Each structure stands twice: as C-alpha cells, then as structure tokens.
Structure 1
Amino acid sequence: MRVVIVTESFPPDVNGVSHCALQTARQLAARGHDPLVITPAAVPGAEPDGRAPCPVIRVPSLPLPGYPQVRVALPSRRLAAALSAHRAELVHLASPFVLGARGMTAAARQGIPTIAVYQTDIGGYARTYMGVGEATAWRRIRGVHAAADRTLAPSSAALADLAAHGVPRVRLWPRGVDTDRFRPSLRDEALRRELAPGGELLVGYVGRLAPEKHVELLARVCGLDGVRVVVVGDGPSRTALRTALPGARLLGRRTGGELARIFASLDVFVHTGPLETFCQTVQEAMASGVPVVAPAVGGPLDLVVPGRTGSLVAPGDAEAVRDAVWAMAADPGLRAAYGAAGRAAVEGRTWDAVGDQLVGHYEEVLAERTAVAA
C-alpha cells in the first residue's frame, strides 16, 4: 500500500503528533507498505533526525508567533506533486489543520482516499492562548475532518467531542506504547540519589513546558515534606517555571534510554494539562510501573483507573494534585500496587497492536471507495 503521511509535526520535533507520525511510518514500513512523509521544515539549526524509515519531504515553514518550536507550513506546490509522484493510494493526515488541510484538498483533487487523525485540541489551544477563537477553530476542524473518508479519534472523550461538533464518520484509534523501552526494570538507584540526595520521594512531570500544560500546578507538591519534583521537557514556560516551582529540578529535554530511566526512577508521575486528547506520557509512566495522577478530563479518562492505577483529579485544582500525591507518598504499598496494575494494563497496547488496527482502518476505507466506484 502506498501511503502519504501529511503531518503538522515530525522529528526532530518532540511532541505527541510527531511521535505518532513517526510510529505510523515505522509500522507501515515494517509491514512491507510504502510510506512517504510530508511535514513542515524543522526549526533552523535543529539536529537532523535519522529515525524515519521512509523518505521525508519538508515544505517551507515559519515559526508560530510566541512559540517558535512550533512550525507552520507555507503554501507549496511540493505537496500535490509528491502525492502524484508517490502514486499514493491513501493519504493519512496527522492532526490536520494547516498543512493537513492543504493535503486534504490535494488528495480530493487527485481522487485519493483520506484518513484524518484527530490529535490536538485546537479549540482548547485557541481558548488558552487567545481567549477567543474556539468556535472558529472548531469550524476549521469540522471542515477538514468532514471531508475525510474517516476520522480516527485517540480516546472516547475525543470521539464524543468530535461527534458533538458535527464531525461525521469517526472511529476510535488509540495510541501504542513501547513496552520494551519503557519498563520498571530500568529504575536506577544512582539516578535517584542524584535527583534526590536526601532520599526524597520523586514526583515527575514529562512533556512540553507551555501555558496549556499548567505545570505550575505542581507548586504545592514542591512544598510537601520529603518530596522532590522533577520536570522533564522544554518550551516557552521553562523560565517562568523556575520561579513557580521552588526546589524543583528542571532537567530540560531528555530522550531515548535516558528518558526511559527517568520514568522508571520516579515514585509518582503527575500530568497537569487539561487539553490532552490522549496523553502519551501517562501511558509511558504506566509502562514504567509508576502510579499516575492526572486530570479527570480528555484522554486520561481512558488510561487511568482511579483506585487501581492512580488518581484522577479535578482539572486545574492544585490542592487536589497535592493531596493525591501526598496520599501516595504516605503509602509505599499503594504505590507499588498502582504501578504493577498500570504496567499490566498497557501490556497489550503496543505499537504493533495499534498498527494492526490502523491498517484495518485503511483497508476498510479503500474497500468502501471501491464499492462506491463499482
């Protein structure tokens, strides 16, 4: 199958859209399919990333105002030309908004079936960054996704949100996790002594440091006796968080095996953002055998089982986050039970498993197109 993946982000970018697009390309290549990736040009000076298992075409881009790590694709004839040259049988649109919308138009003109993968709560981002524009963002989302042969939602909350906003033909497609890379056996006592020389409980956050993530909600956790907060990631909020989180260790961006060791060495993982359509880092923490505290909204509702793998708290409630962490801090047996249950819960959620599901969606869409044509 000749598939073109049009994605708003791709490595070396570090975010959920980029990671999922890379894993999609890998799954297709591993099954003998022929993927091609089209994505915005990376941040100037970014280190090349050699992990792509297929050709990658980068179109000109500009930085998003106020958030230069995010690139917005400029109009380019390369996209339509690449679809033709690749003889695409299907176009996979990863979190389509700007480049994805152009990919949808180009595919429609060439009669190529499309699958649109909803992954970013653009409406919520508009509300967070501008205070207005949520309705406009949803009109854009609805327009793009309604033109697709099928939309794939990563969680039951996202699926319901899309349906409520009038997006048709929506199906569930969750995300996978690398259970070999993220595993409890990577817990590193030397690393723990480095991060918490006083033997403190290690409470960690991993992800972008941006306003919509609300990492500042960890401030009250920083004030707990015997607790050390560790923050992994980078973004526009990093400087402000140095002041907002007294005593926290801000480690910057970490990847690969180093990131997996950090995950496994935590005692509790906390995610604070309320706009997650899935929340991959929660799943990676669970694979690492670490109990989770997350907001009771969006993707975490499908991942965290309260009282079994962690705690769900009211979004934006710093005291609820603190109290949930403190309850786990006081009970090592509870943390161990949550961690073991979390690991067991994700054992079957590998990228191979969700890759099979994705190819099944492709085959159904192609069969539907063939039936209509006949």
Structure 2
Amino acid sequence: MVAESFLPQINGVANTARHVADRLLARGHELLIIAAGPGPDTYGGIPVLRARSFGVPGYKEFPVGLPDPSIERAMAEFKPDLVHLASPFIIGAYGLRSARKLGLPTVAIFQTDIAGFARQYPWFAAADRGIWRWVRRVHSRADRTLAPSSASVQQLVQGGVPNVHLWGRGVNLDLFDPKHRDENWRREISPDGRPIVGYVGRLAAEKKVRRLAELSDLNCKVVIVGDGPDRASLENSLPNATFLGMRRGADLASIFAGLDVFVHTGEHETFCQTIQEAQASGVATVGPAAGGPLDLIQPGTNGLLFEPGRPGSLHHAVKALLDHPMARARMAAAGLERVQTRTWPAVVDDLVDRHYADVLRDAAAVRRVA
C-alpha cells in the first residue's frame, strides 16, 4: 500500500487506509505500507516505510510525500502480488510508476478532489486545471480506479479516466451508536433545552463552515467539532456557536449521538464519512446536493439536502427538521438502518474479493498471453 496520508495524520485518506490495513491483516495477508510524513515505522506489526515529505501552507499538518528511490527498492524486495494506491498524487504517482516498472498490478483509490480544494485557496486556484490533468494522468495508468460515490465515478469517467468502479466506505458501528447519547452533555451544551445542531470536520475554506451563519436566527444551539486554519476567523464570524476542538474515539461518538441534527457544509466531498457516522449515531443529517452526499442522503427519507449555490437553502433544510421532530426521528431511524450493512470488514472484503481479484485475474491472463 502506497498511502498519500497515513497515521498519525487524521483525515479520510489515512482513516480508510488504516481500515483496509486492519482487515487485510485480519484475513492473513502480508502488507507493506509506504506513507508520506513522519510517524511510527510499524502499524500493528505491519512495516511502514516513511517517505520524505514537506508541509503545504494551510495544510502543514498533512505532509506531502516526495518521490524517493527507496519506494521502488522496498517494493522490489517485498515482491507484492498487487499495489494499492491510496489517493495517489505525488508519492502515489511515484509508487504507480515503480509498480508499472516492476510489472505489478495496481488498484488506485480516488478519494480527494484536490482540484476542487485548490480552487478555495488563492495561491492554488490558478493551478486547478493542471492538478486535474495530473490526477487524470495518474489514474488512467492504474489497472483499476475505485471512486467512493456515483458523482466521483461520473467525474472521472467524463474526464477520460478508464476502468473506474464504485467502491464506497465503511463505518465503525461499534464506535458510532445511538446508545452513546449523553443527556448530561446535552444539558451542559444547551442548558435551556434547545435542539443541538452539529458540524464535525476540518475548519478550512473548502468545508464552507461559514454557511452555518445561516442558522443564527433558528432556535437551536450550534456545536462545531474539529480544528484547522480557519478556526480563529470562524470563532469571530460564528460568535454564538460552541467550538469543541478536535475530538476522537468515544468522546467523538458521544458528541455525534448527542446531536439532534448533523450538518455538513462542504461542496467538494467525494464521499463524506461524517454523514455516515452521524447516521450510525441515530442522527438526522443535512448535506449539500453535490458529490458524495448525493449517495448517502435520500431527501425526505433519511435526511435533507441543501443547494450549495443558493443562499438560505441550508437554513430552510435545518429549520424543516427542527420544526418537525417526528419527521426528524423517522429520518434518523432510516439513516441508522441504511448503514447497518456498511461495516468496514464488509467493505474491505468487497475490495479484496471483487476488485483485487478482478485485477489479479486480468494480470494473470496478460502474463499467459505474453
């Protein structure tokens, strides 16, 4: 596995890579992880080769790996059956080049809309087309690309990337569960009993957290969980919200379960894992009608969607849930039911038994012909 991000970083790419590694190990596979940035040189007994890296302005906590000859050497020594590329961009692209040179089949995971994120930052905005061309080039050279949502599959196919398949994400149902709802925490956050509306995620430009200002005149308490470069400015622009900082594990699960409505404001999510975590926690969800949330939220059934380009649409969606507690409870129950088959073991088993198997079979057929 060549991972653009891995523990100790906390983000969607690292989280998915960790769950894939856990399941591969549980199934008896041998694994070598090659990852960007500093960190431990083992994970659960799996060796981790740490590539050289640098920090990007505004994202310094997410190191960007650099091409390193040690990647190809390690790959050649390990002699894998297949190379898994976790959100390939720089070291992932180098890992792909090395795999092709060594004649190894590859599966590339498209997870981050880097071009969409770049447009949110003035110093990167002009580079978005070049970034997309690079992403298309990398994924076009992999034997199979897996995208997490219908929208991202369509984006890649329309962009000319061949052999794209849908592969979603799992959710930890042992951690995220309605039973973790803590009434004491709810009274502490909202002493007057107002409904609690929460956001969980990075506090950065691409997440559009400032849209939560639309909720200022609603009878609710807004809670924001996470950290990032925009935190200070958001605290100024959302003075009535409660900022809880970064939370993890059981603490985060308790916060999720304690919400009445979960809101995600970002427009460039290829999946949006926090919506699944909210659904697993028994909470009604609101997300943008764009990207990954289109697959996760069926409007009126298990949540509501708002129009990213229409001011006030987030306000109306949240107000509808707050004004109708019975409908909100029904949607929360439907969301909880939706995720019951989306466990990480089930999702990774699909990766191995279907996608890995297909790529390995095709590679073996090519070798026979050669």
TM-score range, shorter chain: over 0.9
How far, CA to CA, are the matches of 2:317 and 2:135 in structure 1?
35
What is the Cα-based RMSD across aligned positions, in Å?
Answer: 1.5
Residue 103 of structure 2 corresponds to 111
How far, CA to CA, are the matches of 1:187 and 1:51 in structure 2?
31
Q: Superposition pairs for residues 179-194 of structure 1, below 5 Å?
A: 179-194=173-188
Aligned pair in 2 of structure 1 residues 211, 49: CA closer, same or farther (>3 Å)? farther
Q: TM-score, normalised by structure 1?
A: 0.95
Q: Choose from 113, 116, 127 the match for 1:124.
A: 116
Kept after mapping to 2: 8 A contact 1:217/1:316: no
Residue 305 of structure 1 corresponds to 298
How far, CA to CA, are the matches of 2:45 and 2:189 in structure 1?
35
Aligned pair in 2 of structure 1 residues 280, 357: CA closer, same or farther (>3 Å)? same
Residue 150 of structure 1 corresponds to 144
In the TM superposition, residue 50 of structure 1 has moved relative to its aligned partner by: 8.1
Q: Deviations over 1:154-189 (max 9, x none)?
A: 011100000000000111110011112111111110
Kept after mapping to 2: 8 A contact 1:91/1:115: yes
Aligned pair in 2 of structure 1 residues 35, 316: CA closer, same or farther (>3 Å)? farther
In the TM superposition, residue 246 of structure 1 has moved relative to its aligned partner by: 1.7
How far, CA to CA, are the matches of 2:89 and 2:9 in structure 1?
17
Matched residues, number: 365
Q: Choose from 84, 92, 105 the match for 1:92.
A: 84
User: Structure 1 residue 236 and structure 2 residue 232: aligned?
Assistant: no
Residue 25 of structure 1 corresponds to 21
**AA in 1 matched with 2:168:** P
In the TM superposition, residue 57 of structure 1 has moved relative to its aligned partner by: 1.5
Aligned pair in 2 of structure 1 residues 49, 200: CA closer, same or farther (>3 Å)? farther
Q: Deviations over 1:81-108 (max 9, x none)?
A: 2112222111100110011001001111
In the TM superposition, residue 222 of structure 1 has moved relative to its aligned partner by: 3.0
User: Structure 1 residue 283 and structure 2 residue 279: aligned?
Assistant: no
Q: Deviations over 1:268-309 (max 9, x none)?
A: 000000000000000110111100110001000000010011
User: Structure 1 residue 214 and structure 2 residue 208: aligned?
Assistant: yes
Residue 371 of structure 1 corresponds to 365
**AA in 2 matched with 1:17:** V
In the TM superposition, residue 320 of structure 1 has moved relative to its aligned partner by: 1.0
Aligned pair in 2 of structure 1 residues 51, 206: CA closer, same or farther (>3 Å)? farther
Q: Deviations over 1:117-138 (max 9, x none)?
A: 0001112122222332222111
Q: Name the % identity.
A: 51
Q: Deviations over 1:63-95 (max 9, x none)?
A: 012321221112322211211222211110011
How far, CA to CA, are the matches of 1:357 and 1:329 in structure 2?
38
Q: Choose from 50, 57, 60 the match for 1:65.
A: 57
Aligned pair in 2 of structure 1 residues 53, 297: CA closer, same or farther (>3 Å)? farther
Gaps of 5+ in 1: none
How far, CA to CA, are the matches of 2:179 and 2:106 in structure 1?
41
Kept after mapping to 2: 8 A contact 1:116/1:145: yes
SS of aligned partner of 2:359? helix
SS of aligned partner of 2:120? helix
In the TM superposition, residue 353 of structure 1 has moved relative to its aligned partner by: 1.2
How far, CA to CA, are the matches of 1:187 and 1:340 in structure 2?
15
Q: Runs ≥4 in structure 1, deviation > 3 angstroms? A: 48-53
